[in-house]
Structure 1
Amino acid sequence: MSVTVLAPATVANMVCGFDVLGFALAEPADTMHLRLTDTPGVTIINEDDFDLPTEPTRNVAGGALLALLREAPGVGIEVRINKAIRPGSGIGSSAASAAGAVVGANALLNNRFSKEDLVRFAMFGEEVASGVQHADNIAPCLYGGVTLIRSTAPLDIVPLPTPPLWVTVVHPQIEVKTADARAILKRQVPLPTAIRQWGNVGGLVAGLCLQDYNLIGRALEDFIVEPVRSILIPGFAEVKAASREAGALGGGISGSGPSIFMLSQEEATARAVAAAMQAVYDRLSIAQFTYVTRMNTEGVRVVRSTEQVEIPLF
């Protein structure tokens, strides 16, 4: 009665789609081991060096599992977490913890909950991390590929076509807290700006559906969030310009940052983009991690499990 899952990193917003678009990455991914226990409730054990809280109400995975257990009372779950996705990186570390936890728990409970249920539970984990229940990392982490969150109340997740694309991500070693990045956003947007943004969101969705790479590149513009958040990321404008010059279709801030992502059609281009990104941060004397990867079309994956058990709902 145990299970091991891999929970992938994700990129939220996809530049113009703040809180409504996101996609999953093939790597990195967190590893989580879950088992049923005799004591109802949630037990969290960290197997990495990030020293995250183990009190369930203060832990992202714990918050998600507590939400699930409200609809499966009397169940006890222990989760061991080994994070490969650095907290605060901007590539969905909290979403991976929340989504991986509920997928693992659901596998132990004979998959009694739907994917939409799991998104709903995992959003409570995101609330622990940022104070807001949002699904633009959670949905792609659970569904894989590119997802559109048409609505969160009621929840309406739309998986989108995922054309062959390479992703380059640079994570400069600075900290941008999600709550802080949300706090600086403007609360009002001029109508002409909103219209331009809606055009890009529609264009990006259409480009994905049509596998029109030129349209995807043209639509990767953000007139609302990026101009504000980019001031928190040293070298952002230089990285974006150098990446375009290296052949990237386009890209921008991953989630709330500080990571920056770029999309490319070919692996060779994606690696040239990585070199361009690294060169910028080398000039700025800022340490960084760089990933060159594909999109993950599976989402959270169960890689090993023992006997499942049917536990009745009370």
Structure 2
Amino acid sequence: MYRSITAFAPATVANVSCGFDILGFAIDGMGDKVTVSFNEQKKLCVTGITGDGGKLPLEVEKNTCSVAIQALLDQMGTPIGIDIYLEKGLALGSGMGSSAASAAAALVATNTLLGNPFTKEELVPFAMEAERIACGSAHADNVAPSILGGFVLIRGYEPLDIVKLPVPKGIYCTLVHPHIELKTSDSRSVLRKQISLKESTVQSGNIAGFIAGLYTNDFGLISRSLKDVIAEPSRALLIPGFYELRDAIKSIGALGSGISGSGPTIFVLSPNGEIALEAGEKAKDVFHKIGLGADVYVSEVNNRGAFVLG
């Protein structure tokens, strides 16, 4: 039986423009690590956190790792003591699923430590409880792809219905993280409470078109569908350079761009790695002109999800 397990969970892009709270996909290479081990105290304990600049709480009722693990243990009904050590690889408030990656890594590590009593799909509701304390909403469009990998559709929440979608061959993502912090709560506060029937119809068509494009490897359809008429118009105003970057990538063959999660990170989808790299150069130029630093990361879509290291 294992005494200590370390797991890695990847960054994610949620919403994916048209899929507000119901679409997400995983990124390759970037993410968080969590190490869990048994203790004799029969309670959860967050023993340490690195990479967060001292911002994340060690209190078990406030930390996403421990909240997710507690939800798993409550389901099992067995009092078990577990020490938790978190290594943050993702910036806080980045729009890349930072809190979700922590919870996902914690759950996969703990599930392995306990002999894998749950499938990966069954871990998602536990991670959603961590999202509830992180941003006030138990949504799954970050945690599901971080755990499962690939493109994921959250078809419904009552009951939870998750659909793993195909990943078209050759598709790449460029992530652009401008050097500003945008809290999820602030980004949600600007959203409209009501939308028109016309806007709902347009958004529904784009969601359906995007998913159909994934299944048929139709990059043209994916490109035409990467449009958000509900959340993006309000949230884009909080992200300097957003519209400039969207315009800059139109001429290079990129499929489209959007806000990753609640921002401020912007994602660009491309049909190959060369265009994805060029989109990154365009992004650097855009943010340099407006006097704002930005980190650029190019990746294939991660189809593996969270996994145990070693």
Pick the TM interval, shorter chain: over 0.9
132, 152, 177: which one aligns with 2:137: 132
| Deviating 4+ runs (over 4 angstroms) | none
Alpha-carbon distance in structure 2 between the residues aligned to 1:180 and 1:67:
27
Alpha-carbon distance in structure 2 between the residues aligned to 1:218 and 1:42:
48
Q: Contact 1:145 / 1:297 at 8 angstroms: preserved in 2?
A: yes
Does residue 107 of the first structure (1) align with residue 103 of the second (2)?
no
Query: Residue 300 of structure 2 aligns with which residue?
Result: 294
**CA RMSD for the aligned pairs?**
1.0
Q: Contact 1:246 / 1:276 at 8 angstroms: preserved in 2?
A: no
- The amino acid that maps onto 1:47 is T
Alpha-carbon distance in structure 2 between the residues aligned to 1:211 and 1:228:
31
Does residue 36 of the first structure (1) align with residue 20 of the second (2)?
no
237, 258, 275: which one aligns with 1:231: 237
Query: Residue 50 of structure 2 aligns with which residue?
Result: 47
Identity of aligned residues (%): 45
Query: Residue 194 of structure 1 aligns with which residue?
Result: 200
Query: Residue 247 of structure 1 aligns with which residue?
Result: 253
Q: How does 1:36-75 map to 2 (within 5 A)?
A: 36-44=38-46, 45-51=48-54, 52-72=56-76, 73-75=78-80
Q: Contact 2:52 / 2:92 at 8 angstroms: preserved in 1?
A: no
Q: How does 1:150-299 map to 2 (within 5 A)?
A: 150-164=155-169, 165-299=171-305
Q: Secondary structure at the match of 2:121?
A: helix
Alpha-carbon distance in structure 2 between the residues aligned to 1:62 and 1:228:
33
Query: Residue 116 of structure 1 aligns with which residue?
Result: 121
Alpha-carbon distance in structure 1 between the residues aligned to 2:175 and 2:249:
11
Deviation at 1:41, TM superposition (A): 2.3
Deviation at 1:49, TM superposition (A): 4.1
Q: Secondary structure at the match of 2:249?
A: helix
Q: How does 1:57-96 map to 2 (within 5 A)?
A: 57-72=61-76, 73-96=78-101
Deviation at 1:117, TM superposition (A): 2.4
Deviation at 1:114, TM superposition (A): 2.4
Which has the higher mean CA deviation after the structures are superposed, 57-66 or 196-205?
A: 57-66
Query: Residue 8 of structure 2 aligns with which residue?
Result: 6
Unaligned runs of 5+ in 2: none
Query: Residue 25 of structure 1 aligns with which residue?
Result: 27
Deviation at 1:30, TM superposition (A): 1.2
Alpha-carbon distance in structure 1 between the residues aligned to 2:269 and 2:122:
31
Alpha-carbon distance in structure 2 between the residues aligned to 1:115 and 1:5:
13
Deviation by residue 1:201-253 (Cα, 9 ceiling, x = unmatched): 00000000000000000000001100010000001000111122232100200
Alpha-carbon distance in structure 2 between the residues aligned to 1:48 and 1:218:
38
Deviation at 1:115, TM superposition (A): 2.3
Deviation by residue 1:50-105 (Cα, 9 ceiling, x = unmatched): 21111011111121112112123211111111111111110100100111111111
Q: Secondary structure at the match of 1:86?
A: coil
Deviation at 1:288, TM superposition (A): 1.1
Alpha-carbon distance in structure 2 between the residues aligned to 1:26 and 1:188:
36
Alpha-carbon distance in structure 1 between the residues aligned to 2:52 and 2:28:
23
Q: Secondary structure at the match of 2:274?
A: helix
Alpha-carbon distance in structure 2 between the residues aligned to 1:257 and 1:243:
19
Q: Contact 1:22 / 1:137 at 8 angstroms: preserved in 2?
A: yes
Does residue 143 of the first structure (1) align with residue 145 of the second (2)?
no
Q: Contact 2:52 / 2:91 at 8 angstroms: preserved in 1?
A: no
Q: Contact 1:41 / 1:66 at 8 angstroms: preserved in 2?
A: no
